[in-house]
Structure formats: structure tokens, C-alpha cells
Amino acid sequence: MDSWNRRDLLLSAAALGAPLLNAQPKPPITGRPLRVGFIGTGARGTALLRTTLQFPDVVVPAICDINETAAARAAALIERAGQARPQVYGATGGVDDWRRLVARADLDAVINAGPWQLHSAMSVATMRAGKYAAVEVPAAITVAECWDMVNASEETGMPCMILENVCYFRNTLLILNMVRQGLFGELTHCEGGYQHDVRFVFLSTGGDRGPAGELTWRGVHAASKNGNLYPTHPLGPIAQWLDVNRGDRFTHLTSMSSKARGLAHFARKKFGAAHPNANREYALGDVNTTLLRTASGATVTLYHDTMSPRPYDLILRVQGTEGIYMGSLDKFYFDGRSPKEDQWEAPDAYYAKYEHPLWRDLGPKAAGQGHGGADYIEMHQFFKAVRNRTEAPIDVYDAAVWSCVFPLSIQSVAANSQPVEIPDFTRGKWKTRKPAPISGA
């Protein structure tokens, strides 16, 4: 589209997705593939790259990782997918070489799956270079970093999407659709947890992550910080169910951690009682419990449990005046509607009737992709926004509010569980912003 005017574009943007924050709309990208750069091609970056390479209209001309093996693996994957060998940054250029990737004139978007402490700086630089940013979770680890991202997005009009793939799980989108259709009545409480035995990501098992038994970058965080260090997997979908930033907002939280035992215990069993990491103090309590409250009075219980031997369970309970969903069971109960009083109902009939249109449209293509297909749908939605030059489906305010639980839970734990206020990153816009309509691919 060569000739266009602002009004036409605003109209077409409404059809394609939400218009950009404070920005002159630009015409959609047509007639060429999207050009996407990657920073951080470790475990998650590689998985996201594999997903990206499923999209025939996306190319990856540039990647960056300071680890030569990780960078070479990513470059080989791209070539094997039939694309030109990408320009590789980082491996020989050092820890700031990602800035050269971000500055390239040819990229439309940069996907960033580096360590937590680099997320915000990389996303801010990406937006300030006029590109769409996509950032792994959590998007930031200090409140100042959250504001930096909000300010960069507002000042440049460039979107920043937190890659919270749990928002694209089949059950979380089903629940979103059912919440919007009023099946649960008014929501009063949700519960979620990142309850995942990931002891192996804190202490290296060798290979890319350094000598076996050493603290990884995530282990360094666990050794020095005590709170909920991974809030967004459960909090993302919960915040969407509760219309947080779009009619409601989180006002404050309080947080408490158990004693820290799991990692030292694990190090003892895995690397021997004499290993230094079997004998050090870890700040991070094994189980952190954080309570959040919204302006309208809904509450959320959030667990962080990554050091305990246990099966994976995000809980994902949603409680309303008319009924409840319990994600751990994948079961429902509705007042006066469920066939048997006080008894859980299987989900099949609800999936048949209320499947989210995204899953109806993309489910077959997503099958077999990462996280039960959610990674495919997530990247599909990101690329759609980049191509249409509309706001990302999960925006910078969501990234900031969901991620700020990381530093604020640490603050509350350190202050004997004192309540801590959650900033209003929307600066009042939450009162008038509307939830995104439920729509298909």
C-alpha cells in the first residue's frame, strides 16, 4: 500500500488489532517476509527460534549469543530451514554486541530470550531503535526497569510483548472466553502457581550452562533474592481473566517465603556433600506465597515453588459468584448448572461449546509445537501484530504489571510481609481501557 491516509489506517487498524500507543499508524508490511532478530539462543531462545522457523513468511537474518555453541546451533537451524546464513553477533563481539543487532536497519522485530537482568535494557533499546520488541519472562526485574519499558513504548509508539505463553494455553483461553461470556458470574478470587521442579536450571548439569554443579545465572538470582522470581506464568492469564489494566488493576501485594532448603539438599544429592553449592546459603525460600488484591476487590494467591521435588502444576483456579474452574483438575462446577450438586464436572462439553476462536483456527497447526501448541499461537499473534503494525496482543503495561511482582514480592518478604503498593503503570488509563475482543487468528 503506497498511498494511505491516517483515517483509513485507523479504520483498518481497528479491524486488524488495537492501534499503537501514541503513534502515527504505518501501513501493514506486505509483499516481503518479516525480518526478525534473536538475542539469546540458549534453551528457550532455541525453542522460540524453532517455532519461528515454522512460519514461511518470517526470516531470521541476525542472531546474537555470547556463547559460541548456542550461536552456532541457532545459525545452523536457520540454514537447515532453507534460509540464508544469519549474521552472528555476540559470540566474538562480547556482551554488548546485541546493541549492533538491535541497530540494524533491516529488522522489523527483535525477540529477546537472554537472562532476566538483560531483558528490560534489550527491550528498551529495541523499541528506541523503532522495532517491535518481544521479551521472555519476566520482562523486567526492578520497578525502575518496568517504568523504562513503559516510557520507551509510550515515547516511541513501539510495542513490547511479554512472551507469556501460558496466556495461549488451550485451557487458559477457554476460561478467558467463558469469563467474558459471564459463566463464572463476577470473579472474586484466582489462584495460580509456578510450581515446577526446575532445580536443574539453578545448578548446571554441564554443557552450555557451565561446569556441572556451578550456579547458573538463574542460580545466582536464587542465591541472592527471596520472593516470587517467576510470577508471570500463572499471573498472566489470571490478570487477563480479571481485566487487569482494562477496567481493574492490582493495587497491592503481600508476600511470605518458607525456609530455603531444596537447592542445597539437591546439590548434596547430586554433587556430593563436599560441593561448595551443597553448603552455601540460598536466599530464595523454597515456597513463596504472594497475595495480590485488585481495585475492585478481587484477590489472587500466587505460589512460587521451584526447588521441591514435585510434578508440574500451575493450579489456575478461577472463582466467581456462579462457579469455579480448577486447572489442576481441569474440572468445573457451576451453581445450579452442573449435573450433580457439589461434584466436579468434566471439561469436555465446555471445550466443545466455548473453545477460544484462536484454538479453533490454529489448533491443528499448533499441534505438536512447544507447550502443547501455545508457543505457535503466541508467535503467530506476535507476528500478526508486527505485520499489521498494530499493538501487540499483550502490551507493555501487562509486561510491567505482571513482572513487577518479582521485585515487589522481594520487598515485601524483606519487610516481614508488609503490604507493598503496585504502581499504576497505565497512569489511570486502566479505568477506560477496554479488554481486547475475543477473536480468531
| Residues 396-415 close enough to bind ligand NAD by CB under 6 A | none
Indicate whether 179 belongs to the interface with ligand NAD (CB under 6 A).
Answer: no
CB of 297 to ligand NAD, least distance (A): 30
Q: Grid cell 527483535 — which residue?
A: 110
Q: Give the three-state DSSP class for 189.
A: strand
Pair 112, 85: CB distance under 8 Å: no
Indicate whether 111 belongs to the interface with ligand NAD (CB under 6 A).
Answer: no
Q: What is the CA radius of gyration of the chain?
A: 22
The one among 17, 25, 37, 42 contacting ligand NAD by CB under 6 A: 42
Q: Give the three-state DSSP class for 265.
A: helix
Q: Which is nearer to ligand NAD, 115 or 419 (CB)?
A: 115
| Residues 288-317 close enough to bind ligand NAD by CB under 6 A | none
CB of 93 to ligand NAD, least distance (A): 9
Q: Which is nearer to ligand NAD, 184 or 202 (CB)?
A: 202
The one among 9, 36, 70, 160 contacting ligand NAD by CB under 6 A: 70
The one among 66, 111, 140, 408 contacting ligand NAD by CB under 6 A: 66
Cα–Cα distance, 148 to 331 (Å, whole number): 40
Indicate whether 90 belongs to the interface with ligand NAD (CB under 6 A).
Answer: yes
In order, the DSSP letters of 64-94 are: E-SSHHHHHHHHHHHHHTTPPPPEEESTTT-
Cα–Cα distance, 24 to 29 (Å, whole number): 15
Task: Extract the runs of DSSP E, i.e. beta strands, from 327-369.
Answer: 331-334
Q: Which is nearer to ligand NAD, 165 or 288 (CB)?
A: 165
What the block records as the C-alpha cell of 15 is: 479491524
Q: Classify burial at 281, counting beta carbons within 10 Å of its beta carbon; exposed 0-12, middle 13-18, buried 19 or more.
A: exposed
The one among 36, 113, 300, 410 contacting ligand NAD by CB under 6 A: 113
With CB atoms as reference, the residue minimizing the distance to ligand NAD is 42
- Region near ligand NAD per CB under 6 A, out of 111-119, 280-288, 290-298, 324-332: 111-119
Q: Which residues is 252 bridged to in the sheet? A: 293, 421
User: Which spans of this chain sit near ligand NAD (rule: CB under 6 A)?
Assistant: 39-45, 64-67, 70, 90, 95, 98, 113-116, 118, 136-137, 163, 165, 209
